[in-house]
């Protein structure tokens, strides 16, 4: 009696190859995705509270202000009002002759040219003009905002300059340069819990509370 040799079904063989191919593709996808995350992870703002609509509105507002100050149009308009040879301390002195402090906070501008044209403002307006002037002349400068953590409303606004290799405290409206501990006696409550302090640049912000809280 003759025995016929059983030939494997081509369909079953092709089906197995298909699953092997799918498995290899899945492994490649996972590998590429993992490598992409390692090389460029999702950026989280340091020490930012968990999703909080009020906090998000607070940060988005000042990020929008900084985006405007960093725009080509704003820089050009501000530069036209400045001596191009001024450094950061010159700009600090220059501003004192251009503005006066006003107590009424209603209706104030957040555009530096409008603020200069009005000639007055509270801490927010002073800081916006100073930061804008620094940026217009190519210096690194950022807005710093102390906020009440119960409602994320601002308490006080000032600036920081990148000066001699470090971020330096500058408070234009109070005419103070590099005295970050001064706010500890201002009666805000505990800086670090009741009050948080954030520095805003173009497209990013950073919790800088530790710079201004007691050590």
CATH of the domain at 137: 3.10.620.30
Structural domain count of the chain: 1
When pLDDT is averaged across residues 90-115 and rounded to a whole number, the result is 89
Instruction: With respect to residue 20, please indicate whether it lies within any of the assigned structural domains.
Output: no
Asked whether residue 99 is assigned to any structural domain, the reply reads yes
Local structure of residue 143 (DSSP, 8 states): E
Closest CA to 136 of 86, 76, 67: 76
Comparing 52-56, 91-95, 103-107, 191-195, the range with the smallest average pLDDT is 103-107
Paired tokens of 62: 């000042």
- pLDDT score of 52: 83
Return mean pLDDT, the chain: 84
**Stated length of the chain:** 215
Which domain range does residue 91 map to?
Answer: 56-212
Residue 10 pLDDT: 44
Segment 180-189 long-range contacts (CB within 8 Å, at least 24 positions apart):
180/211, 180/212, 181/212, 181/214, 183/146, 183/156, 183/212, 184/212, 184/213, 184/214, 186/156, 188/146, 188/155, 188/156, 189/148
In a domain, 67, yes or no: yes
pLDDT at 103 over 50: yes
Give yes or no for a contact between 197 and 208, defined as CB atoms under 8 angstroms apart: yes
Give me the pLDDT at residue 47, please.
Answer: 54
Q: Which residues does 86 contact at the CB level (< 8 Å), separation at least 6?
A: 94, 133, 137
Q: What is the pLDDT of residue 107?
A: 65
Answer whether residue 11 shows pLDDT above 50.
no
Residue 28 lies in a domain: no
pLDDT at position 5 is 41
Band (pLDDT 50/70/90 cuts) for residue 211 is very high
* Higher pLDDT pick, 84 / 19: 84
pLDDT tens-digit series, residues 62-79: 999 999 999 999 999 999
């Amino acid at each position: 009696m003759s025995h016929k040799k059983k030939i494997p079904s081509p369909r079953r063989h092709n089906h197995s190859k298909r699953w092997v191919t799918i498995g290899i593709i899945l492994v490649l996808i996972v590998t590429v995705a993992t490598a992409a995350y390692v090389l460029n992870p999702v950026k989280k703002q340091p020490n930012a509270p968990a999703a909080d609509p009020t906090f998000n509105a607070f940060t988005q507002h000042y990020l929008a202000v900084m985006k405007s100050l960093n725009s080509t149009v704003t820089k050009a308009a501000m530069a036209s009002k400045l001596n191009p040879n001024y450094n950061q301390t010159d700009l600090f002195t220059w501003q004192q002759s251009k503005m006066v402090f006003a107590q009424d906070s209603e209706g104030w501008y957040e555009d530096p040219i409008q603020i200069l044209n009005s000639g007055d403002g509270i801490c927010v307006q002073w800081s916006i003009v100073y930061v804008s002037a620094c940026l217009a002349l190519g210096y690194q400068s950022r807005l710093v905002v102390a906020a009440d953590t119960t409602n994320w409303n601002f308490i006080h606004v000032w600036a920081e300059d990148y000066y001699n290799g470090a971020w330096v405290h500058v408070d234009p409206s109070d005419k103070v340069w590099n005295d970050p501990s001064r706010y500890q006696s201002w009666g805000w409550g505990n800086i670090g819990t009741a009050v948080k302090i954030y520095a805003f640049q173009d497209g990013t912000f950073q919790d800088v509370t530790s710079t201004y809280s007691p050590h």
